[in-house]
């Protein structure tokens, strides 16, 4: 399918990835975060161990707590219109491979438009004098009190189907989110054109529909329950240690958020299988459908979980048999003022699942066995939102010298 109709999300194989953003309302803009050349970051064509994060890499990932500035992340509506490309009131921003504003590619962007019958509007995004590209993405911010997006169609700049992956989400109020990435640039290279059309957007002349699209959320739904949870006693201080692995389906670049640029890793590994012995850990992380192959079906996880931001976990504890209203939120081990029990590591790898260990040093342990329930919940600190339907409960039986995991639900 090469056209995205209102109320649907379009997926098409394309030749490179581009993400643009169009906005109207001025807002505070903090500038690109540190992490790569010129404040931007590029997803690797080949894996190479630890990759840059959007924040500086501390020596200890969990004992050094993040600052509030590090927890904050620019949202769709936070980009400054003065820093974008304009046409008839529309504003466009280009992004880097991890969804942050990167003004560099805007020098190649040219917008044109024409008025259609019945007051409808046609916006065309061109590139002129562009180098060979592997990825390109955009947001289009429009006046949703005036226009309703009707179609979003990829152009020919990145080639035809089979050369590229295309993803478009038009259900975010006032914003069109779209992008393209090159299929297997390690084999096929980047784009070959210098000039061409990236996409064409048609708007109807009436107020946009009011979709219920939760873009400010934590990882939710049962498929985002933490993986491989367990508990054990710390041999040094006899505290209870909870262990689990992160789950945020659709976060293929592993930066903590499901966004449009999670399309890029799928293009890098497109057609790979997860059991061929060649970087299987990387491929397993990208196989959202768990069918053993990296293919177009793995884009569905980006769509269904778009906007899910994981910045840490909250851990609650209650006596077994007690209702949730009696549970206690356990504090951060090193900085109790943080609104979560444990933060997500500030540095990360695109191919390694994050592991967590939370130490409960406050539970008294006696000779008499007692059962306790720990509830582990994904948390979005930016919007103060929990992923309640992704919470997992771990029941343990504890004495002063033993710990047994009784149940995981």
Annotate 282-303 with three-state secondary structure. Answer: HHHHHCCCCCCECCHHHHHHHH
Q: What share of the chain has pLDDT > 70, as a percent? A: 83
Do 40 and 80 share a domain, yes or no? yes
- Residue 351: band (very low, low, confident or very high) from pLDDT cuts 50, 70, 90: confident
Region 392-408: mean pLDDT is 96
Quick check: is 217 in a domain?
no
Average pLDDT over residues 197-202: 97
Tell whether 297 and 197 lie within a shared domain: no
234 with 351, same domain? Answer: yes
Residue 1 has what pLDDT? 34
Q: Are 159 and 270 in a shared domain?
A: no
pTM score, whole prediction: 0.86
Return the percent helix, strand and coil in the chain, to nearest 5: 15, 35, 50
Distance, CA of 263 to CA of 279 (rounded, Å):
18
Instruction: Please write the tens of the pLDDT for every residue from 235-293.
Output: 999 999 999 999 999 999 998 999 999 999 999 999 999 999 888 888 999 999 999 99
Q: Is residue 126 part of a domain?
A: yes
Radius of gyration of the chain, Cα coordinates, nearest whole angstrom: 23
Task: State whether 284 and 190 are in the same domain.
Answer: no
Per-residue model confidence (pLDDT) at position 57? 39
- pLDDT: is 281 or 155 the higher one? 155
Residue finishing a domain among 176, 204, 232 = 204
Does position 301 have pLDDT exceeding 80, yes or no? Answer: yes
Tell me, yes or no, whether 77 and 113 share the same domain.
yes
Tell me the pLDDT tens digit for each residue of 62-110: 667 777 677 667 788 889 999 999 999 999 999 998 888 999 999 999 9
Indicate whether 314 and 394 sit together in one domain: yes
**Residue 162 and residue 235 in one domain:** no
Q: Is the CB of residue 385 less than 8 Å from the CB of residue 217?
A: yes
Residue 144: pLDDT band (50, 70, 90) is very high
Confidence tier at 210 by pLDDT (50, 70, 90): confident
Residue ending a domain, among 142, 172, 204, is 204
Residues 254 and 305 both lie in one domain: yes
Range of weakest confidence among 171-175, 190-194, 237-241: 171-175
Please, which pLDDT band fits residue 56 given cuts at 50, 70 and 90? very low
Length of the chain: 409
> Domain boundary at 178, 204, 230, which?
204
Domain containing 260: what range?
222-408
Residue with tokens 């029990």: 341
Least confident of 145-154, 155-164, 202-211, 226-235: 202-211
Residue 233 burial (C-beta neighbours within 10 Å; 0-12, 13-18, 19+): middle
Say yes or no: 183 and 273 in one domain.
no
Q: How many domains are contained in the chain?
A: 2
- Domain of residue 147, CATH code: 2.60.40
Does some domain include residue 233?
A: yes
Residue 217 reports pLDDT greater than 80 = yes
């Amino acid at each position: 399918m090469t056209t995205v109709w209102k109320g649907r999300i379009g997926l098409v194989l394309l030749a490179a990835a581009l993400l643009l953003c169009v906005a109207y309302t001025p807002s505070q803009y903090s500038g690109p975060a540190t992490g790569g050349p010129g404040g931007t970051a590029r997803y690797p064509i080949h894996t190479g161990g630890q990759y840059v994060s959007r924040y500086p890499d501390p020596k200890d990932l969990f004992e050094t707590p993040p600052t509030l500035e590090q927890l904050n992340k620019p949202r769709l509506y936070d980009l400054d219109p003065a820093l974008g490309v304009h046409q008839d009131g529309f504003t466009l921003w280009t992004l880097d491979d991890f969804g942050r504003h990167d003004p560099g590619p805007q020098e190649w962007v040219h917008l044109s438009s024409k008025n259609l019958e019945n007051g409808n509007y046609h916006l065309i995004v061109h590139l002129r004098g562009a180098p060979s590209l592997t990825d390109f993405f955009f947001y289009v911010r429009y006046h949703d009190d005036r226009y309703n997006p009707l179609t979003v169609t990829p152009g020919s700049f990145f080639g035809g189907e089979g050369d590229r992956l295309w993803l478009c989400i038009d259900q975010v109020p006032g914003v069109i989110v779209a992008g393209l990435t090159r299929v297997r640039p390690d084999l096929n290279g980047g784009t070959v054109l210098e000039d061409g059309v990236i996409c064409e957007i048609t708007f109807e002349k009436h107020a946009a529909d009011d979709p219920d699209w939760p873009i400010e959320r934590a990882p939710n739904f049962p498929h985002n329950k933490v993986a491989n949870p367990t508990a054990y006693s710390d041999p040094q201080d006899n505290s209870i240690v909870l262990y689990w692995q992160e789950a945020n389906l659709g976060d293929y670049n592993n930066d903590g958020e499901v966004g449009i640029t999670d399309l890029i890793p799928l293009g890098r590994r497109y057609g790979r299988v997860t059991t061929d012995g060649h970087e299987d850990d990387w491929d397993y992380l990208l196989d959202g459908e768990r069918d053993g192959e990296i293919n177009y079906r793995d884009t569905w996880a980006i769509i269904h979980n778009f906007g899910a931001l994981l910045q840490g976990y909250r851990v609650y504890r209650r006596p077994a048999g007690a209702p949730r209203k009696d549970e206690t939120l356990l504090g951060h081990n090193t900085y109790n003022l943080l609104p979560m029990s444990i933060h997500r590591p500030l540095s990360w790898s695109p191919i390694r699942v994050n592991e967590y260990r939370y130490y409960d040093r406050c539970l008294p342990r006696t000779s008499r066995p007692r059962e306790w329930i720990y509830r582990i919940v994904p948390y979005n600190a930016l919007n103060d939102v929990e992923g309640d339907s992704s919470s997992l409960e771990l029941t343990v039986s504890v004495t002063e010298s033993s710990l047994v995991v009784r149940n995981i639900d």
